[in-house]
Amino acid sequence: MKRIFIISLILFVASSVWAYDFEVDGIYYNIITENDVEVTYGSYPYYKEGAGYSSNVVIPVSVAYGGKTYNVTSIGMACFCNCPELTSVTIPNSVVAIGYECFRGCTGLTTMIIPNSVMELGGGALKDCNLTYITLPDNLDVSISGLGFENNNIHYDVLNNKEVKLTGIVNKEIQSEIVIPETVSAYGSTFQVTEIGGGAFYGCTELTSIVIPNSVTSISIEVFNGCTNLTSYVGPVPSYFNPNPLLEYVKITKGCLAEYFTFSQNLKTIDLSELECTELTSDYHFYKSHNIESIIIPEKMDVSRAELYFVKDGIRYKVLNGKEVVVVKNGYYDDYEFHNTFYSGDIIIPNTVTAGNTFNVISIEDNAFENCSNVTSISIPNSITSVKYAFQGCTGLSSIIIPDELDFSRSGLQFKNNNICYKVLNNKSVAVTSSSSEVEYSGEIIIPNTVTGLGYTFSVTTIGYAFDESSNLTSITIPASVTEIYDEAFYGCTNLRKVTCLATNPPKAYKDSFENYNGTLYITCESKDLYKESACWGTFKNIECIGAETVELTNDEVAVVPEKTEAEFSMPKNENANSYTLTISNNGVTFCTLTFNAQGQLANIDFSTTKSYELKSDVEGFKFTVTGLSTASDYGYSFKALASNKSVLKEYAGSFTTKNEDGTGGSVQGGGEGTLAVDAVSNATAVTIVNGQILVNGEAPAFVVTVSGQKIANANLKAGVYFVVAEGETVKVVVR
């Protein structure tokens, strides 16, 4: 019984495939509802060629059967399939659906009018027909109907009465350049090309260039699979270029790039001038495209997150928008890994760079020149407004050009001079920073007012996090140029016992700038109250007054001041000298020879006749007077600085003439002469400068005192601030 039931079921199913309910005027119908019927095929099997309908078929709006009238509302599945002799069919307005493969293979059917009542057209319903004319209802989706055509070697599928989809290329092996039209004509209508289907260009191995119109709104993700020689793309935003590593030229004519859209590594030219957005939000559009040479984008388009880079003249730039770029690290990404190629040699960054657009170079980004030890010089243009942490590890850098007022403090640029490490703040000033080696600062450190490095002479204005944990540092001298000391600058300097600050105004500092406030602070006498009132400086338990700076004598001149019967000599000290000699001659005959030790103290005197001398000072740079000369006579002198082996390190030579009996005359040739002048004094006392010597009320004090408390010879003075004592009064003299 079970076997008989199965056989009966199979017979029922088979019969239902080709059975129809009734036939009227050669058209076969199936009843589908109480009031509706569908047109169906009339013979079995329906797919056999020649079976079913032929000639002209006119489908009525309604049909009567069994005493009842039915509405004809649909044309059933495969109704006219493989009816090559069918030449025309009239479809009434009552039909709302045409079934699967309904007219497939109707090769004799050339014209068809589908009424506006039809809302559904089944898959393959018009496949393999030879239609030359067809009308379709507005907005009817015929995309799966099989209605298609070829035009100029391109195959299209009809989507509706207005649009078509490009689905393939006929002769794929010979196509190298394809220009897809915006509209194409077929079936008596003009259609707009709006889609490109998957696999449309599959196998087009010779295709090198394609132009897609802006009418296209959808491009399949796999459309360019197998197009291994495609190098040029012009058109709206594609879904994806994959796999296509050779793509070099891309112009996007419509739309905006989707999130995570990535271009190929060989992209050379990208034209986004017609893009319909003002910002690219993805971080990955161009990160693999490290061969870009030309970028065309609107000025205001923000592409800072798109990872859009190019290299020009050996410098790698990241594009921010259509008019601005920044200098970045040299190299390229490969599967999210960055391959650093490092900069080297002389780097000249331009104000502007042209790569399609002309861009202003506005910044140097983090790590741009990190560890580029082979970079020897860098020229930074005035267009740069920001420099980030870019120059750390540039140990081979010997010169740099920094624009005025450009903040360089975050750049990481450092250099070393006389075992002190400096961080560049701008093109005028530096900060003392931590040692670039593992060796800590120790012992006694004297920071200069100015320091030379990288082709500049910088003012030392700041002490940064320089001496952190330098526990062996015992003494620090801070120059007058310093205006700020960072918090914890001397953190861990537990043995720092002596701090000398030569700034007149206390530098900005913090309560934790110094670790050890038990040491002694030495400051200028005139600024003592200011330091004591400071929250930081006033914390020192011991504060002593020494002044601000030491004014040295001129280092390269011997000053000679002749009178009637005497001559006063002022001479500098040579750091490498072991002894000095001074010889005075008259008419070729040696008048006297004097020998001094390394400290400028008179060690020996040899007069050819009995004369006298007067030693005025024994400080660095010294002065003495030789008496017993003749009035209005000519003398020559020679001053030599000698090494321990008596070789001459430096020699001064000149001549002078003593004054007349009436005090007139007197001249000096060679050796130099004082040129200073008084700028201001602390009171109304008459102060003048004569031959580099201070005179108070016409009298010359034997010595002057600098603001740091050092006594020096009153001769050949440099510009600075001095104190002299005259008639029991201390006079402050500002000399320029």
Position 13 in a domain: yes
User: Average pLDDT of the chain?
Assistant: 83
| Residue 533 shares a structural domain with residue 564 | no
| Residue 29 shares a structural domain with residue 111 | yes
pLDDT, one tens digit per residue, over 91-105 is 999 999 999 999 999
Position 152 in a domain: no
| Residue 454 shares a structural domain with residue 591 | no
| Residue 690 shares a structural domain with residue 709 | yes
Using the Cα atoms of residue 224, residue 229, residue 235 and residue 236 in order, give the sign of their dihedral. Answer: positive
Last residue of a domain, one of 122, 146, 170: 146
| Residue 664 shares a structural domain with residue 687 | no
Neighbours of 601 (CB within 10 A): 11
Pairing status of strand 711-713 against strand 703-706: antiparallel
Comparing 47 with 368, the larger pLDDT belongs to 368
pLDDT at 413 over 90: yes
| Residue 618 shares a structural domain with residue 710 | no
What was the pLDDT predicted at 711? 67
Position 688 in a domain: yes
* Dist. CA 630–CA 536, nearest whole Å: 62
Residues 6+ apart with CB under 8 A from 351: 360, 361, 381, 382, 383
pLDDT at 674 over 50: no
Q: What is the mean pLDDT of residues 307-334?
A: 92
Tokens of 229: 């020689």
> What percent of the chain is modeled with pLDDT above 90?
43
Position 388 in a domain: no
How does residue 549 score in pLDDT terms, banded at 50, 70 and 90?
Answer: very low
Lowest mean pLDDT among 439-443, 606-610, 670-674: 670-674
Q: What is the mean pLDDT of residues 116-141?
A: 94
* Angle, vertex CA 662, rays to CA 565 and CA 665, nearest 5: 70
Last residue of a domain, one of 99, 115, 146: 146
* Dist. CA 692–CA 561, nearest whole Å: 10
Question: Position of tokens 């594009």?
Answer: 319
pLDDT at 542 over 60: yes
| Residue 598 shares a structural domain with residue 491 | no
Pick from 733, 702, 703: which is nearest to 719 by CA? 733
pLDDT, one tens digit per residue, over 418-432 is 889 999 999 999 999
| Residue 123 shares a structural domain with residue 14 | yes
| Residue 659 shares a structural domain with residue 687 | no
| Residue 484 shares a structural domain with residue 521 | yes
pLDDT at 213 over 50: yes
pLDDT, one tens digit per residue, over 456-465 is 999 999 999 8
What was the pLDDT predicted at 347? 95
* Dist. CA 563–CA 570, nearest whole Å: 14
What was the pLDDT predicted at 23? 92
pLDDT, one tens digit per residue, over 634-659 is 888 888 878 776 766 777 777 888 99
Position 18 in a domain: yes
Number of domains composing the chain: 4
The CATH number for 507's domain is 3.80.10.10
How does residue 228 score in pLDDT terms, banded at 50, 70 and 90?
Answer: confident
Q: What is the mean pLDDT of residues 169-178?
A: 84
pLDDT at 561 over 80: yes
What was the pLDDT predicted at 386? 94
What was the pLDDT predicted at 285? 82
| Residue 71 shares a structural domain with residue 33 | yes
Comparing 36 with 685, the larger pLDDT belongs to 36
Comparing 672 with 288, the larger pLDDT belongs to 288
Position 122 in a domain: yes
What was the pLDDT predicted at 12? 33
pLDDT, one tens digit per residue, over 369-411 is 999 999 999 999 999 999 999 999 898 999 999 999 999 999 9
How does residue 614 score in pLDDT terms, banded at 50, 70 and 90?
Answer: low
Last residue of a domain, one of 120, 146, 172: 146
pLDDT, one tens digit per residue, over 349-367 is 999 999 999 999 999 999 9
Taking a C-beta distance cutoff of 8 angstroms, is the pair 603, 596 a contact?
Answer: yes
Position 303 in a domain: no
What was the pLDDT predicted at 196? 94
How does residue 622 score in pLDDT terms, banded at 50, 70 and 90?
Answer: low
Q: What is the mean pLDDT of residues 528-539?
A: 87
Comparing 707 with 11, the larger pLDDT belongs to 707
For the chain, what's the residue count? Answer: 736
Position 594 in a domain: yes
| Residue 527 shares a structural domain with residue 613 | no
Helix and strand totals (H; E) in the chain: 2, 62
Domain of 689?
678-735
pTM greater than 0.85? no
What was the pLDDT predicted at 550? 37
pLDDT at 612 over 70: no
Q: Which of 64-78, 167-181, 271-285, 517-531 has the highest mean predicted lDDT (pLDDT)?
A: 64-78
